[in-house]
């Protein structure tokens, strides 16, 4: 009995000593994950715009302000109707506000947080 108790305490102690892991140890499971890398660099990705997305771009209030300032508010409205960007209203200029908004298609947060 005494031996078994000693063994149990020894095993528990050894487990505790050996048990400490680095906080990123599990991330080794992720193929391509590199600890210490600055992931702040932009990531390239593909994204297909749906008709609803074009509507959301056209109705985005930041875009509306941008278009109003540039005098292309009708062209912005046309993006929603036509389902495509134009020379006056380019994706480069008008996509960021949409992607940053809760209308972006990946997730709508407004309903969850309101």
Partner 1 sequence: MKRLFLLSAVMMLCTSVWAGYICRGSVFDAQGEPLIGATVSVPGTAVATAADIDGNFALSVPDNTKELLISYVGYKNKTIDAAKEVGRVILEPESTVLQDVVVSQSVAKTRKTPVAVSTVDAPFIEAKLGGQEFPEVLKTTPGVWATKDGGGYGDAKINMRGFKSANVAQLVNGIPVNDMEWGGVYWSNWSGLSDVTSSMQTQRGLGAAIISTPSVGGTLNITTKSLDAKKGGTLFYGMGNDGMNHIGFSASTGLMKNGWAVTVMGSRKWGNGYIQGTKFDAFTWFVNVSKRINDKHQLSLTAFGSPQDHWQRNSNNGLTVEGWQNVKNYMNGESQYRYNPAFGYRSNGQAYVSNQNHFHKPQISLNHIWQIDYKSSLSTAVYLSIANGYGNSGQGRTSDYRSQWYGANNGVLTDTWRCADGTFDYAGIEEMNAASTTGSNMVMAHSINNHTWVGLVSTYKNEILPNMNLLVGLDVRYYAGLHQTKINDLFNGQYYIDDSSRKSVLATNNSAAADPNWQFQKLGVGDIVYRDYTGHVAQEGIYAQLEHSCLEDNKLTYFVAGSLNLNSDWLVNRFYYDKEHQRSETQNFLAGNAKAGVNYNIDRHNNVFLNAGYISRAPFMSAAFLSREVSNAVNPDAINEKCVSAEIGYEFHSPKFTAQVNGYFTRWMDQTMVKTNTMQDGTRYMMNMSGVASRHMGVEVAATYKPFSWLEFSGMFSYGDWVNDSNTTGYFYNSQSQPLANLSTGAIASGIMAEDHLWAKLNTKGRKVGGSAQSTGSLSMTVKPLKGWRIGVDWVASARNYSDYNITGNNLTPGQELQLGEPWRIPWGNQLDLNASYTFDFGGIRATLYGNINNLCNYNYIMDAYTSATVDGTWQNAYRIFYSFGRTYSLRLKLTF
The yes or no reply on residue 69 touching partner 1 (CB under 8 A) is: no
The C-alpha atoms of residue 17 and residue 34 are separated, in whole angstroms, by 26
Whole-number Å distance between alpha carbons of 114 and 101 = 15
39: tokens are: 């992931």
Count of residues engaged in binding partner 1, rule: CB under 8 A: 57
Compute CA distances 112 → 38, 61, 83, 103, whole Å. Answer: 31, 21, 28, 13
Per rule CB under 8 A, is residue 15 in the interface with partner 1? Answer: yes
Applying CB under 8 A, which part among 15-23, 66-74, 84-92 lies near partner 1?
A: 15-23
Q: Is 23 in the site for partner 1 (CB under 8 A)?
A: yes
Site residues, partner 1 (CB under 8 A) = 4-5, 8-9, 12, 15-16, 19-21, 23-27, 29-33, 35-40, 43, 45, 50-53, 55-56, 58-62, 80-81, 97, 100-114
């Amino acid at each position: 009995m005494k031996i078994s108790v000693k063994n149990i305490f020894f095993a528990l102690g050894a487990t505790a000593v050996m048990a400490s892991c680095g906080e990123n140890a599990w991330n080794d499971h992720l193929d391509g994950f590199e600890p210490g890398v600055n992931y702040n660099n932009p990531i390239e990705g593909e994204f297909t715009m749906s008709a609803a997305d074009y509507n959301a771009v056209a109705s985005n209030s930041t875009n509306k302000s941008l278009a109003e300032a540039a005098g292309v508010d009708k062209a912005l409205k046309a993006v929603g109707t036509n389902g495509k960007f134009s020379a006056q209203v380019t994706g480069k200029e008008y996509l960021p506000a949409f992607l940053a908004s809760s209308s972006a298609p990946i997730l709508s947060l407004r309903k969850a947080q309101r």
